[in-house]
A and B are shown apart, each in its own frame.
Chain A
């Protein structure tokens, strides 16, 4: 668990917004992932948290090269994915899979469960008898009845569909899986089942996960290490207990305060007052404007409650607070 499996360096992804149907012209850009650097160690579960629009999903997709990125490199075993040819990338993808948020829509409704799970195996031209055997094994692995292999996705509940999605991701025996909000569409009682399944599989197969979720209680519980993203930039990273018990960045603090817990506590109430400031530029257009103006200085400066004078001018560097706990903030 010490060797980095994936190294992400200066990864940047911008989306261009355009207007007009025939003569399209660009009316602005939004930086979804902004020069991000981090490693994912082998056998690690790296959690990724941030508000909506912070670039969590885009980051995961850019790492898998499901969307082209503007610059930067993603190195797996010393090979830069960004420079690979299509065919070489296709072969590499065996090692890297994704589990999507919506369990039902990510499966092909016109194919049976077995065909859905076998699709990646067909793509890599596995012999027929091996495919059958493996599908049966995978179904058992994710806790589904192998006799249901010939049913269709709509005959299953959300939790079962997510199990099918996980089986499909596991089909090619990957080393890395990007879990894009895998439990947010599921009922509470089923969430725990799926998280336990993912956790067991991770230990059993020594998988590496990048785990994105909007429920911070779940991320804390599930991940070894956490990245906190704000508007496409990493603002804080560290071991998950460290981030939760000893958050440093003002944004991380606000985010954690907003978590509602069954045990009670009213920290969320003071958040809303602060978040009211966030809400001012909540709509897409002014968010872009705020982002563009924050190109110099700290990205969080405009909404920060602990803002210093030079926050708006100088971009903060990463500082190590304690081993593996880094924060990009002028306060430290």
Chain B
């Protein structure tokens, strides 16, 4: 892997976003109707940040991540609009062959289920060496192997040789996830997408994985898009947060603003539903109703049927993103200036 052409694109100004998603629409054509899994999502990823995309099931967070790598299975998936710009090029218009050069080398991904992301029939060594050589055919077998061992020790394996000879089933979930991280950084990517990297791991292992991600972020100046449903993980790592619900961005702002001073009623309810350390009494505040059914969304705001503070206008018209006093962008009628207008 030649590092030279990599650094070129990375040194381009700090303020310029390294990745820009503009009006992304990813729809699924199902027998029951069209599912707007990602509906007009726009955001920029700056070169130094960890951007968390938070949401519950059906919020479109994973489909957003998959769309960035054009990994959404099509059909039934379909990119109905929008652009994903990296260095001014739209990823969605690239051919499969061109995409192969981008996946892994420029943008790589860590998957939710670490064991399933590895091939069960090959050793860790085979899989890592394959990845390294595939992206840099000129590298010799020996140096690929050395690079593999180097990568394994960089993800905190004290005995990389033993791990290299192991098959995925011989390792614990945490070890598989660390191998997954090694695979994802094998080609020195410019952007890392981590899709629920610690879901299903126990708290101690979760801490080790998060620290590893944080370290790689600082060491390699690697911007990370972190997909998660766990607000604790967001607080631990993220610098900026996007809260998604029913395929749309509901709130976007700095991690501190969104978590300490949430503005959108959904963000507030979500934060309140998690047990806090200061909480007294055993009853939690709950969000009424069910997660959104993307085929039967309310006509107005998608959260209006579960919202505690919904006004009549909410079930009629769809809100836009408004700037809130906390500095975050909020998709809610409460923040629009014409809230008092008769409807």
A residues whose Cβ falls under 8 Å from a Cβ of B: 51-52, 157-160, 187-193, 195-196, 199, 214, 216-218, 220-222, 244, 254-255, 257-264, 266, 268-269, 271-273, 275-276, 278-280, 282-285, 287
Assess the A192–B206 pair: CB atoms within 8 A. Answer: no
Q: A262-B232, A278-B204 are in contact. Are A221 and B175 (CB under 8 A)?
A: no
CA distance A282 to B158 in the complex (A): 11
Assess the B275–A220 pair: CB atoms within 8 A. Answer: yes
CA distance A195 to B284 in the complex (A): 8
Assess the A51–B203 pair: CB atoms within 8 A. Answer: yes
Partner of B284, one of A196, A264, A280: A196
CB neighbours (8 Å) of B211 from chain A are 268-269, 272-273
B240 in contact (CB, < 8 A): no
B173 in contact (CB, < 8 A): yes
Assess the A268–B166 pair: CB atoms within 8 A. Answer: no
CB neighbours (8 Å) of B288 from chain A are 193
CB neighbours (8 Å) of B273 from chain A are 188-189, 191-192
Q: A187-B291, A268-B210, A283-B175 are in contact. Are A263 and B57 (CB under 8 A)?
A: no
Q: How far is the CB of A121 from chain B (nearest CB, A)?
A: 27
Q: A188-B270, A275-B207 are in contact. Are A261 and B232 (CB under 8 A)?
A: yes
* Minimal Cβ-Cβ distance residue in B for A273: B211
CA distance A186 to B171 in the complex (A): 26
CB neighbours (8 Å) of B282 from chain A are 199, 221-222
B331 in contact (CB, < 8 A): no
Q: How far is the CB of A202 from chain B (nearest CB, A)?
A: 9
Assess the A218–B204 pair: CB atoms within 8 A. Answer: no
CA distance A293 to B111 in the complex (A): 35
* Minimal Cβ-Cβ distance residue in A for B291: A187
Partner of A272, one of B158, B207, B274, B306: B207
Contact with A along B142-159 (1 / 0, CB 8 A): 000000000000001010
Assess the A268–B207 pair: CB atoms within 8 A. Answer: yes
CB neighbours (8 Å) of A160 from chain B are 290
Assess the A218–B270 pair: CB atoms within 8 A. Answer: no
CA distance A222 to B233 in the complex (A): 21
Q: How far is the CB of A210 from chain B (nearest CB, A)?
A: 17
Q: How far is the CB of B145 from chain A (nearest CB, A)?
A: 21
B138 in contact (CB, < 8 A): no
CB neighbours (8 Å) of A218 from chain B are 275
A-B contact pairs, 9 of them (CB 8 A): A192-B273, A196-B284, A221-B279, A260-B230, A262-B231, A262-B271, A266-B236, A272-B212, A276-B156
Assess the A259–B232 pair: CB atoms within 8 A. Answer: yes
* Minimal Cβ-Cβ distance residue in B for A195: B284
Q: A221-B279, A258-B204 are in contact. Are A285 and B170 (CB under 8 A)?
A: yes
B1 in contact (CB, < 8 A): no
B103 in contact (CB, < 8 A): no
Return the 8 tightest CB-CB contacts between A and B, nearest first.
Answer: A260-B232, A272-B211, A221-B275, A189-B287, A192-B286, A192-B284, A187-B56, A192-B273
B264 in contact (CB, < 8 A): no
Q: How far is the CB of B13 from chain A (nearest CB, A)?
A: 31
Chain B contact-residue range equals 35 or more
Number of A-B contacts (CB under 8 A): 149
Q: How far is the CB of B266 from chain A (nearest CB, A)?
A: 9
CB neighbours (8 Å) of A159 from chain B are 290-291
Chain B contacts with A in 181-205, Cβ cutoff 8 A:
201-205
* Minimal Cβ-Cβ distance residue in A for B198: A260
Assess the A262–B235 pair: CB atoms within 8 A. Answer: yes
With contacts A188-B274, A259-B203 known, what are 18 further pairs, Cβ within 8 A? A52-B201, A189-B270, A189-B291, A192-B274, A192-B284, A193-B288, A195-B284, A196-B286, A214-B203, A217-B274, A217-B276, A221-B282, A254-B204, A255-B203, A260-B207, A260-B235, A279-B175, A284-B170
CB neighbours (8 Å) of B276 from chain A are 217, 261-263
* Minimal Cβ-Cβ distance residue in A for B211: A272
Assess the A221–B284 pair: CB atoms within 8 A. Answer: yes
Q: A260-B230, A283-B170 are in contact. Are A275 and B205 (CB under 8 A)?
A: yes
B253 in contact (CB, < 8 A): no
* Minimal Cβ-Cβ distance residue in B for A268: B207
CB neighbours (8 Å) of A189 from chain B are 56, 269-270, 273, 286-287, 291, 306
Chain B contacts with A in 159-178, Cβ cutoff 8 A:
166, 170-175
CB neighbours (8 Å) of B259 from chain A are 262, 264
Partner of A187, one of B172, B229, B275: B229
CB neighbours (8 Å) of A278 from chain B are 204
Q: How far is the CB of A331 from chain B (nearest CB, A)?
A: 20
Q: How far is the CB of B339 from chain A (nearest CB, A)?
A: 25
Interface centre among B203, B210, B287 (most CB of A within 10 A): B203
CA distance A113 to B239 in the complex (A): 45
* Minimal Cβ-Cβ distance residue in B for A187: B56
Assess the A193–B203 pair: CB atoms within 8 A. Answer: no
CA distance A160 to B172 in the complex (A): 32
CB neighbours (8 Å) of B173 from chain A are 52
Q: How far is the CB of B219 from chain A (nearest CB, A)?
A: 15
Assess the B204–A187 pair: CB atoms within 8 A. Answer: no
Assess the A272–B208 pair: CB atoms within 8 A. Answer: yes
Assess the A193–B291 pair: CB atoms within 8 A. Answer: no
Assess the A280–B158 pair: CB atoms within 8 A. Answer: yes
Assess the A192–B172 pair: CB atoms within 8 A. Answer: no
CB neighbours (8 Å) of B231 from chain A are 188, 262
B277 in contact (CB, < 8 A): yes
CB neighbours (8 Å) of A275 from chain B are 204-205, 207-208
